[in-house]
Chain A
Amino acid sequence: MSFDATLNLTGEVATIELKGELDASTAPRFHDLIEDAAGAGALRLDIHVSRLSYLSSAGLRSLVFARQKMGDEVRISVVGATEPVSRTIRLAGFDHSIDLIDA
């Protein structure tokens, strides 16, 4: 069960790409990148998840964490979610506080 997360900062846009499975064991690495992005003062956070195959409830918690760390004025988008991942986000109703965007 692999996981990989990378952060790219371009001006005011932070882009995080997630690959593999985001769950309780891999979420801390995602959290580190969110903190880096928040620390760099990014005004927009795009989370690319087209290669994320699984998002557990602990992974959902990471999205709440991102919302809190980045602040309310930062736009957070989840880009290119696969069906299982977007279903998990929609089921919990998180598509109201985070934009779900097709890749």
Chain B
Amino acid sequence: MSQTQTETRADTPPEPRQTRTKVLLLDEHHRVPPELMKALNGLDADVRVRTPAELLAAAAGASGETEVVLASARLSPSTVKAVTRRLVEEGQNPTVVAFAEHELHLLGGHIRAGSDYLVPPFYPELVRARLRNCHERAAFSRTLEDVTAHAELLSYERELEIGREIQGGFLPDTLPQFDGWEIDVRFRPARTVAGDFYDVFELVNRRRLALVVADVCDKGVGAALFMALIRSLLRHTAEQSGLQNLIAADLLGEASVWEEHSRAIPVVGATPLLNAVVGTNNYLTRNHIRQGYFATMFFGVLDPVTGNLVYINGGHNPPVLVGSDGSDPVFLEPTGPAVGVMPDVTFSLGYAQISPGDTLFIYTDGVTEARAESGGFFGEEAMVEQLTAAAGRGEELLDHMDGVLDEFVGAAEQSDDITMMTVHWRAPEPDPAT
């Protein structure tokens, strides 16, 4: 038998250490040689005693941090291996030490399986030395893992940065200028790459202006790839179908069409708009439905001469049309579902009239779903309140909204991409009303 009864624990107080060694003691019957337990208790170790079955049945992540597995030699080496594998799956890297009290011959299999070993007498100093070795080895391998992980992270960050630059190329460099109109955009991705996007481009020889604000579901790289695809499909289709339609419109005599239809259907804008949205929806549902990405979008086509706006709202937060006369704001509600989910779905056209002095505010859910530290959402109501109360228009209004959002979010992390676009028709110069 061992002679551990003679040990005097008081003489060897545990050394102060920054961390306690985390020990998992494995035995089929929760049995631990009393001398070994005594030695462990005298050391600076956190000891948990478990059966292999208990550990394997624990929920993922619930097995606790383990630096050393002290396994009874009575367990089969394959059982010990299964437990170790489980811990490794959870990101741990424990040292395995087999111990035997009497049946020293059982240690052979464990040693062949790569375990360290511990035999009586379980003198605290011997156990301490063995545990310290394990502790240091674990700390060293952690450091090594950290260095590797950091190096990997740096290379990912470089790649992401490249992704961000390329994605920038899918947003317009400059916004087209039209007499009397101010179009401004604020774009704040939550991560390096974004799922939000916006676009402004001319159609049919500068006679129409396409305005797009969209939100690809989800965040990060996947959303960014689909952003590039969807933006290109929309713009390409709209630009290609614009020319044919110009001819059609000229043949029809555009002015008479406007007068004939009380609902003021702007023929010139409608076809590229429908082609772009329906075409993109068909393309996505035909080729990419398995990936499950979709975009909510507002796509408007504006006649800068008349202020007539024809639009499709595909499941997107309703843009807000704020008048200069203090009238109630108008919401441009969805005219169809999100784009890319349902094949052969119908998108209707919506119509709105922007008058001199009005501002159309188009945004993504990053605005209304901005979160304060308390967890509360900014919300549509507060947004509309701010929009109607704000004095400035265009760039000033965006600055104002930016400030309000910053204040609301406070120290909380920006959780989603934020995009805001304002389309403002300047009131005529001599304006006694304001």
Contacts and interface: CB of A to CB of B under 8 A. Distances in A.
Contacts of A56: 365, 369, 416
A96 B342 contact: yes
B293 interface: yes
Which of A54, A57, A60 counts the most chain B CB atoms within 10 A? A57
Given A57-B296, A61-B294, A68-B290, A92 B342 contact: no
A91 interface: yes
A61 B334 contact: no
A92 B315 contact: yes
A57 B317 contact: no
A58 interface: yes
Interface string B389-422: 0000000000000000000000000001000000
**Chain A interface secondary structure, helix, strand, loop or mixed?**
helix
A61 B291 CA distance: 10
Given A56-B416, A57-B217, A58-B217, A94 B317 contact: no
A58 B337 contact: no
B392 to A, nearest CB: 29
B70 interface: no
A68 B338 contact: no
Contacts of A103: none
Given A91-B334, A94-B338, A96-B337, A57 B218 contact: yes
B289 interface: yes
A24 B218 contact: yes
A3 interface: no
Contacts of A92: 294, 296, 315, 337-338, 341
A51 to B, nearest CB: 16
A64 interface: yes
B263 to A, nearest CB: 23
Contacts of A58: 217-219
Contact of B337 (A57, A68, A94): A94
Interface string B195-217: 00000000000000000000101
Given A56-B369, A91-B315, A61 B217 contact: yes
Which of A54, A93, A96 counts the most chain B CB atoms within 10 A? A93
Contacts of B326: none
Given A57-B218, A58-B219, A97-B341, A64 B294 contact: yes
Interface residues of A, number: 17
Given A97-B341, A97-B342, A65 B217 contact: no
A37 B342 CA distance: 23
B211 to A, nearest CB: 19
Contact of A64 (B292, B314, B345): B292
Contact of A93 (B293, B317, B337, B416): B337
Nearest to A69: B292
A61 B292 contact: yes
Contact of A68 (B218, B289, B334): B289
Interface in B326-375: 334, 336-338, 341-342, 345, 365, 369, 375
B342 to A, nearest CB: 6
Nearest to A90: B334
A1 B375 contact: yes
Contacts of A1: 375
A54 to B, nearest CB: 8
Contact of B341 (A54, A91, A94): A94
Nearest to B313: A91
Interface in B202-259: 215, 217-219
Which of B317, B341, B377 counts the most chain A CB atoms within 10 A? B341
Nearest to B318: A91
Interface string B305-322: 000000000111100000
Interface of B: 215, 217-219, 289-290, 292-294, 296, 314-317, 334, 336-338, 341-342, 345, 365, 369, 375, 377, 416
* Closest 8 pairs between A and B when the two form their complex, measured CB to CB: A93-B337, A92-B315, A57-B217, A92-B338, A61-B217, A58-B218, A64-B292, A93-B315
Interface of A: 1, 24, 54, 56-58, 60-61, 64-65, 68, 91-94, 96-97
19 contacts: A1-B375, A24-B219, A57-B215, A57-B416, A58-B218, A58-B219, A60-B217, A60-B338, A61-B218, A64-B294, A64-B341, A65-B292, A91-B317, A91-B334, A92-B296, A92-B341, A93-B314, A94-B315, A97-B341
